[in-house]
């Protein structure tokens, strides 16, 4: 790798070293090669395209599924002096024109685009005029119906990029590793020949715990847990908007600095809640899964699932938002089998195969919740990885150790 790339890592991004595969990935993209990156949440995927975008001539297009996510990244880039913009439905006509002018003047290093904006004729015409460096497709699992956030617009990306500039290198990034999703993405992007960089999914700093969900007791336990983490940032996931409102209210009356977040709220309210959370003015966000994808708050100390998620994959993604700074994160789930049955019933109007697929995902989820084995082993196994030894850092491992210590005592007592 060229020295100036390394010095930009330090000078611009303030990092003294690359993490994991970052260096290889940056290098690969700089060589104009199609690149496929599978790296867990929090591992540092953004840098894999942000650094090359800064180094290369022209503008990199970054396709990103959520408006909140684009804003978050563009704000961060601007804060470190990188010229980045986004193009999405929140911009007025004159704002959009301004952004386009910046790009045409070759000032913009990164242009974040929602897939819905990319498909617009006027934007295709504009991008044909621009000098582009490469295309990054973030959260690429949105391409796959097997993924947890399927977005139909994502399936059109390849053909539109083909219209704009067929030979631009593409980097696709996702934290989703199940082989099925991976295949789907590569096929759709016609990237079977791309260089694959896949890293381990073990998040060693996350502690996994499952507790039984018992009506009022769980609410008390929830409040107690949060109070034990006073002043720390946390996310509570609930299944429905109604439940989100209810739990947020419960926390507030218990003097916890919490706010609700779901798709039913006004976008201005959602943006404010998210900003407050990022700026430490809000400790706890109670949310549906509408919150969190790609949100970069490094010091989230806990993620609690008050309701069971629809898949282990989703669970892994959501808990992955804890401990991004590498310090400890606590992942707690409240579980009862009735919630699995309830989720299955929600799917009753779906097509047969779709419902069957959803059921399989739910069964895996409940198997995780009910397992007595090391939870990390269980999760990694799901992603096709093997962990040789028990992790020692989940509720099941801790429990086992307690029993063993107890046994030791018994033996000693007998021997004495
Ligand atoms: P991902 O998209 O993979 O979930 P992000 O790109 O949001 O992860 O990065 C997660 C965190 O890691 C961010 O706070 C980012 O600043 C930090 N980070 C990324 N690369 C490095 C590095 N080389 N050294 C230190 N911190 C890094
Ligand atoms: Mg990301």
- pLDDT tens-digit profile of 265-315? 999 999 899 999 999 999 999 999 888 766 779 999 999 999 999 999 889
Residue 370: Cβ within 10 Å count: 11
Predicted confidence (pLDDT) per residue in 167-185, tens digit: 999 999 998 877 788 889 9
Distance from Cα 226 to the centre of ligand 1, integer Å: 26
Residue to mutate (ligand 1; options 19, 46, 110; most atoms within 8 A of CB): 46
Output the pLDDT for position 415: 39
Torsion sign (Cα): 79, 84, 88, 91: positive
> For the chain, how many residues are written?
416
Which tens digits make up the pLDDT trace of 129-145? 999 999 999 999 999 87
How many angstroms separate the CA atoms of 345 and 359, rounded?
A: 10
Distance CA 37, CA 307 (A): 31
Task: Categorize the per-residue pLDDT at 241 as very low, low, confident or very high, splitting at 50, 70 and 90.
Answer: very high
Percent of the chain with pLDDT over 70: 94
Concatenated DSSP letters of 359-397: HHHHHHHHHHHH--S-HHHHHHHHTT---SS--S-BHHH
Ligand in closest contact with the CA of 140 = 2
Q: Are 203 and 168 in contact (CB under 8 A)?
A: no
Say if residue 149's pLDDT is above 80: no
Of the bound ligands, which one is closest to the alpha carbon of residue 201? Answer: 1
Which residues line ligand 1 at a C-beta cut-off of 6 Å?
15, 17-19, 22, 39, 41-47, 296, 298, 324
Radius of gyration of the chain (CA): 23
Average pLDDT over residues 195-201: 93
DSSP state of 246: H
Residue 192 in this model has a pLDDT that exceeds 80: yes
For the record, the structure tokens of 220 come out as: 């008390």
392/374 Cα distance (integer angstroms): 8
Containing 113, the helix (H) or strand (E) segment is strand 110-113
Residues in CB range of 153: below 8 A, 6 or more apart: 115, 116, 118, 119
- Is 127 a residue whose pLDDT tops 50? yes
- Using the mean position of ligand 1's atoms as its centre, give its distance from the Cα of residue 132 in Å: 24
Q: How far is CA 18 from the centre of its chain?
A: 20
Please measure the distance between the N-terminal and C-terminal CA atoms of the chain and give it in whole angstroms.
Answer: 65
- The reported pTM is 0.73
Over 90: is that where the pLDDT of 357 sits?
no
Dihedral of the alpha carbons of 310, 314, 320, 322, in degrees to the nearest 10: -30
């Amino acid at each position: 790798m060229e020295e100036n790339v390394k010095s930009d890592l330090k000078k611009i991004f303030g990092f003294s070293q690359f993490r994991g595969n970052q260096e290889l990935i940056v290098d690969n993209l700089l060589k104009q090669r199609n690149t496929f990156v599978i790296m867990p949440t929090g591992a540092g995927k953004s840098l894999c395209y942000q650094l090359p975008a800064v180094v290369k001539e022209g503008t990199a297009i970054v396709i990103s599924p959520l408006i909140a996510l684009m804003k978050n990244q563009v704000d961060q880039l601007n804060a470190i002096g990188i010229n980045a913009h986004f193009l999405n439905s929140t911009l007025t006509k004159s704002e959009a024109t301004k952004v386009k002018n910046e790009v045409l003047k070759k000032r913009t290093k990164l242009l974040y685009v929602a897939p819905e904006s990319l498909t617009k004729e006027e934007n295709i015409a504009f991008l044909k005029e621009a000098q582009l460096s490469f295309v990054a497709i973030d959260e690429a699992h949105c391409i796959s119906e097997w993924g947890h956030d399927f977005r139909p617009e994502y399936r059109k990306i390849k053909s539109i990029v083909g219209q704009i500039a067929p030979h631009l290198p593409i980097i696709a990034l996702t934290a989703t590793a199940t082989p099925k999703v991976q295949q789907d993405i590569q096929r759709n992007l016609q990237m079977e020949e791309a260089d694959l960089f896949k890293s381990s999914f073990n998040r060693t700093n996350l502690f996994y715990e499952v507790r039984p969900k018992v009506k009022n007791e769980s609410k008390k336990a929830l409040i107690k847990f949060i109070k034990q983490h006073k002043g720390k940032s946390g996310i509570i996931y609930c299944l429905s908007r109604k439940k989100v409102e209810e739990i947020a209210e419960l926390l507030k009356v218990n003097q916890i600095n919490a706010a609700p977040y779901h798709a039913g709220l006004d976008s201005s309210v959602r943006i404010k809640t998210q900003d407050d959370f990022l700026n430490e003015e809000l400790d706890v966000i109670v949310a549906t899964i509408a919150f969190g994808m790609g949100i970069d708050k490094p010091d989230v100390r806990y993620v609690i699932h008050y309701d069971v998620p629809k898949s282990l994959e989703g669970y892994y993604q959501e808990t992955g938002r804890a401990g991004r700074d590498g310090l400890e994160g606590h992942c707690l789930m409240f579980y009862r089998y009735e919630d699995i049955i309830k989720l299955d019933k929600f799917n009753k109007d779906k097509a047969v195969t779709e419902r069957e697929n959803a059921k399989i995902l739910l069964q895996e989820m409940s198997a995780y919740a009910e397992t007595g084995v090391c939870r990390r082993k269980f999760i990694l196994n799901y992603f096709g990885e093997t962990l040789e030894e028990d992790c020692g850092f989940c509720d099941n491992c801790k429990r086992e150790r307690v029993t063993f210590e107890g046994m030791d005592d018994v033996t000693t007592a007998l021997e004495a």
